[in-house]
């Protein structure tokens, strides 16, 4: 009973078999087709070997033991041992083959998923929490492994076993076989009933695991607020509630098992009893040999193993189907903005002229975020965009970097429509300075060049010097090789900011975008440092600055005032103040 950390409730309830999903999974198995065929053949072989054993015992008893001789006993023992050895080899090889197939399929799927995720739009990430996506890559893929190595293959083995045993029984004595198989309908009803009961029990179990996980994830990530508002007690009570429900669901699963096991054991015992009574009479009437009776009893015992495991199989199938459904749904999500066929190449160096031509844009239909926005920024010009919150400043940056495609108008970089140019080349010419810099695990140097081999160590140092990060980096124990932990927890906010600045100038972009939104937790000295650094970052470079600080705005060549997605005013600081319009009111 494996438990998975599902984040969603809605897809907990699912089918145990869905031919559409299985068909699609087959596509992933195809490259390893011969291994799958080999594994199934070996499986058939091992079931056959298992069935041979009771027959060998029958030979031993009937030929020798019953007659008090030892003539063939040797040979039969050797055959028996041989079949055991072969069984070992078959099973081992089969397991290895299947695990290899499973691991490769998982790896293929994981890579495909990750590649797909890399191409998804930023809008997609706004709508899908990271945790859920990571679950696709981990738990859901793991559920598949279970299906391939345990679920699917054992179900095939079980069916072989049941059919094989029935055939063997009929071959030994068809009358006794018929009597034995009379319990089959009873068993079938029992299995069906149990499968249904267990399906519901497992469903409840998964549902409560999902709810508890979701609650824990949310309330741990929101711990700051929980502590701030002193909500620990209420939270704990709620968690206790979830946890108890899960406990009850787990208990119910255990209960059903506890009930089913003895029932199956009883039916099995009754069958054995019938075989002994009826078979015993046949032996006495000399229409059945004693060896056959023993073989019969062994075979009947084999029958019950698959029966006992039916619920587990169902559970594996069900989780795997749900996982497959989620994985494929994710793979079917349309990818973000991609290069069109024959996308234009931009030259290595550009002048850095940025033009918006009648740009209108909406994230979702009907709600325009930018309306007919037109402006040109000359190479080297420094322009600030200001406006009330929600005016569309961040959106403008998103569009210039082509994180989204626009509905109307054109955005030009040196006169080339960015929608027609190669995406990575457009981004290569545009530097972005974020307010909340992201730091990756790795060294300072790696964080500045972001594994771009074309950026030399000299460029890295030059960039760091330019933004004034050089000084603090020199003071670190290992300098540029200093290791940073995840999210840069071992750096101060200001240091992280400077590092991010260095990163954005390292490849010397002609256009620089600065999201200079007031950072609350920065002291005035650091602020001055950052301000100074920004000046140098944007000097002699086309710059678009989204500023929330008057100090930053004032020094710009031009200021464009946005209001509800429209340009309402533009000019220098003095000109705009003289207008006594929006800009004037903004800084009042």
Contact footprint for Mg ion (CB under 5 A): 394
The CA-based angle 147-152-157, given to 5 degrees, is: 140
* Piece of the chain touching ligand M5T by CB under 6 A; list 62-70, 388-396, 492-500, 549-557: 388-396
Closest CA to 193 of 17, 312, 311: 311
- Is 150 within 8 Å of 316 (Cβ atoms)? yes
Q: Least CB distance from residue 546 to ligand M5T, whole Å?
A: 7
**Which listed option, Mg ion, ligand M5T, none, makes contact with residue 126 (CB within 5 to 8 Å by class)?**
ligand M5T
Is position 437 an interface residue for ligand M5T (rule: CB under 6 A)? no
Q: Judging by beta carbons within 10 Å of its beta carbon (0-12, 13-18, 19+), is residue 457 exposed, middle or buried?
A: exposed
Per-residue binder mask for ligand M5T (CB under 6 A), 314-353, x = binder: ----------------------------------------
Q: Least CB distance from residue 390 to ligand M5T, whole Å?
A: 4
Cβ neighbours, 10 Å, residue 42: 20
Chain Cα centroid distance, residue 146:
16
Q: Least CB distance from residue 231 to Mg ion, whole Å?
A: 30
Compute the distance between CA of residue 345 and CA of residue 421 in angstroms, rounded to an integer. 6
Residue in the shown chain whose Cβ atom is closest to Mg ion:
394
In this chain, which of 151, 291, 336, 387 binds ligand M5T, going by CB under 6 A? Answer: 387
Query: In terms of CB distance, is 33 or 390 closer to ligand M5T?
Result: 390
**Which listed option, ligand M5T, Mg ion, none, makes contact with residue 307 (CB within 5 to 8 Å by class)?**
none
**Which listed option, Mg ion, ligand M5T, none, makes contact with residue 395 (CB within 5 to 8 Å by class)?**
ligand M5T
Query: In terms of CB distance, is 34 or 363 closer to ligand M5T?
Result: 363
Give residues 86-145 in contact with ligand M5T (rule: CB under 6 A). Answer: 126
**Which listed option, Mg ion, ligand M5T, none, makes contact with residue 352 (CB within 5 to 8 Å by class)?**
none
Is position 389 an interface residue for ligand M5T (rule: CB under 6 A)? yes
Give residues 392-411 in contact with ligand M5T (rule: CB under 6 A). Answer: 392-395
Q: Least CB distance from residue 461 to Mg ion, whole Å?
A: 32
* Piece of the chain touching ligand M5T by CB under 6 A; list 104-112, 297-305, 340-348, 387-395: 387-395
Compute the distance between CA of residue 112 and CA of residue 118 in angstroms, rounded to an integer. 10
Query: In terms of CB distance, is 29 or 359 closer to Mg ion?
Result: 359
Task: Output DSSP code: residue 479.
Answer: G
**Which listed option, ligand M5T, Mg ion, none, makes contact with residue 75 (CB within 5 to 8 Å by class)?**
none
Give kind and range of the element (H or E) at residue 113.
Answer: helix 73-119
- Indicate the angle between helix axes 457-467 and 524-538, nearest 10 degrees: 120
Query: In terms of CB distance, is 321 or 386 closer to ligand M5T?
Result: 386
Query: In terms of CB distance, is 396 or 455 closer to Mg ion?
Result: 396
Cβ neighbours, 10 Å, residue 26: 11
In this chain, which of 316, 324, 346, 369 binds ligand M5T, going by CB under 6 A? Answer: 369
Q: Supply 59's token pair.
A: 């030979």
Compute the distance between CA of residue 306 and CA of residue 382 in angstroms, rounded to an integer. 75
* Piece of the chain touching ligand M5T by CB under 6 A; list 193-201, 297-305, 383-391, 442-450: 383-391
Q: Least CB distance from residue 548 to ligand M5T, whole Å?
A: 7
Q: Least CB distance from residue 21 to ligand M5T, whole Å?
A: 33
Q: Least CB distance from residue 397 to Mg ion, whole Å?
A: 8
Q: Provide CB contacts within 8 A for 20, sequence distance 6+.
A: none
Query: In terms of CB distance, is 93 or 394 closer to ligand M5T?
Result: 394
- Is 355 within 8 Å of 411 (Cβ atoms)? yes
Is position 533 an interface residue for ligand M5T (rule: CB under 6 A)? no
Q: Provide CB contacts within 8 A for 347, sequence distance 6+.
A: none
Compute the distance between CA of residue 48 and CA of residue 238 in angstroms, rounded to an integer. 54
- Is 177 within 8 Å of 170 (Cβ atoms)? yes
C-alpha distances in angstroms, 49 versus 44, 61, 153, 155, 307? 9, 19, 17, 18, 20
C-alpha distances in angstroms, 218 versus 211, 289, 489, 528, 545? 11, 69, 22, 37, 35
Q: Least CB distance from residue 128 to Mg ion, whole Å?
A: 21
- Which chain residues interact with ligand M5T by CB under 6 A? 126, 363, 369, 387, 389-395
């Amino acid at each position: 009973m494996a438990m998975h950390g599902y984040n969603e409730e809605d897809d907990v309830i699912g089918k145990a078999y869905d031919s559409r999903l299985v068909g699609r999974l087959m596509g992933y198995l195809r490259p390893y087709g011969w291994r799958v065929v080999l594994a199934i053949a070996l499986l058939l072989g091992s079931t056959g070997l298992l069935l041979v054993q009771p027959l060998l015992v029958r030979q031993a008893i009937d030929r020798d033991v019953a007659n008090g001789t030892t003539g063939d006993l040797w040979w039969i023992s050797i055959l028996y041992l041989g079949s055991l050895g072969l069984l070992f080899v078959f099973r081992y090889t089969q397991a290895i083959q299947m695990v290899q197939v499973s691991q490769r399929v998982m790896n293929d799927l994981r890579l495909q998923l990750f590649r797909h995720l890399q191409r998804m739009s930023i809008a997609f990430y706004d709508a899908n929490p990271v945790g859920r996506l990571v679950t696709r890559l981990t738990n859901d893929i793991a559920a598949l492994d279970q299906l391939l190595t345990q679920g699917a293959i054992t179900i095939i083995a079980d069916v072989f076993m049941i059919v094989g045993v029935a055939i063997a029984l009929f071959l030994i004595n068809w009358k006794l076989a018929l009597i034995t198989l009379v319990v089959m309908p009873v068993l079938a009803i029992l299995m069906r009933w149990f499968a249904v009961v267990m399906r519901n029990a497992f469903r409840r179990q998964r549902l409560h695991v999902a709810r508890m996980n979701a609650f824990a994830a949310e309330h741990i990530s929101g711990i700051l607020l929980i502590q701030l508002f002193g909500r620990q007690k209420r939270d704990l009570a709620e968690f206790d509630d979830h946890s108890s429900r899960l406990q009850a669901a787990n208990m119910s699963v255990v209960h059903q098992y506890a009930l089913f096991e003895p029932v199956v054991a009883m039916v099995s015992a009754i069958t054995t009893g019938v075989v002994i009574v009826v078979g015993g009479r046949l032996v006495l009437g000399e229409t059945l040999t004693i060896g056959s009776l023993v073989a019969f009893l062994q075979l009947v015992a084999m029958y019950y193993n698959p029966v006992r495991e039916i619920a587990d199989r169902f559970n594996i199938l069900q989780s795997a189907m749900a996982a497959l459904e989620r994985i494929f749904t994710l793979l079917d999500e349309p990818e973000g903005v991609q290069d069109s066929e024959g996308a234009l190449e931009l030259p290595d160096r550009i002048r850095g002229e940025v033009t918006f031509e009648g740009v209108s844009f909406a994230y979702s239909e009907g709600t325009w975020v930018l309306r007919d926005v037109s402006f040109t920024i000359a190479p080297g010009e420094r322009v600030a965009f200001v406006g009330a919150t929600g005016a569309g400043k961040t959106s403008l940056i998103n569009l210039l970097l082509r994180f989204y495609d626009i509905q109307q108008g054109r955005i030009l970089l040196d006169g080339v429509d960015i929608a027609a140019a190669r995406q990575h080349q457009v981004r290569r010419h545009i530097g972005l300075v974020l307010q909340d810099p992201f730091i990756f695990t790795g060294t300072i140097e790696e964080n500045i060049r972001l594994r771009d081999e074309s950026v030399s160590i000299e460029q890295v140092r030059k960039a760091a010097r330019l933004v004034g990060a050089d000084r603090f980096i020199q003071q670190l124990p290992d300098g540029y090789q200093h290791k940073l932990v995840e999210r840069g927890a071992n750096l101060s906010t200001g240091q992280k900011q400077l590092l991010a600045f260095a990163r954005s100038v390292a490849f010397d972009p002609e256009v620089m975008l600065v999201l200079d939104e007031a950072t609350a937790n920065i002291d005035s000295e650091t602020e001055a440092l950052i301000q100074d650094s920004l000046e140098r970052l944007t000097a002699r470079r086309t710059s678009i600055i989204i500023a929330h600080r008057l100090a930053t705005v004032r020094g710009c060549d031009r200021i464009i005032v946005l209001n509800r997605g429209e340009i309402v005013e533009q000019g220098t600081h003095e000109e705009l103040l003289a207008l006594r319009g929006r800009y004037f009111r903004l800084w009042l």
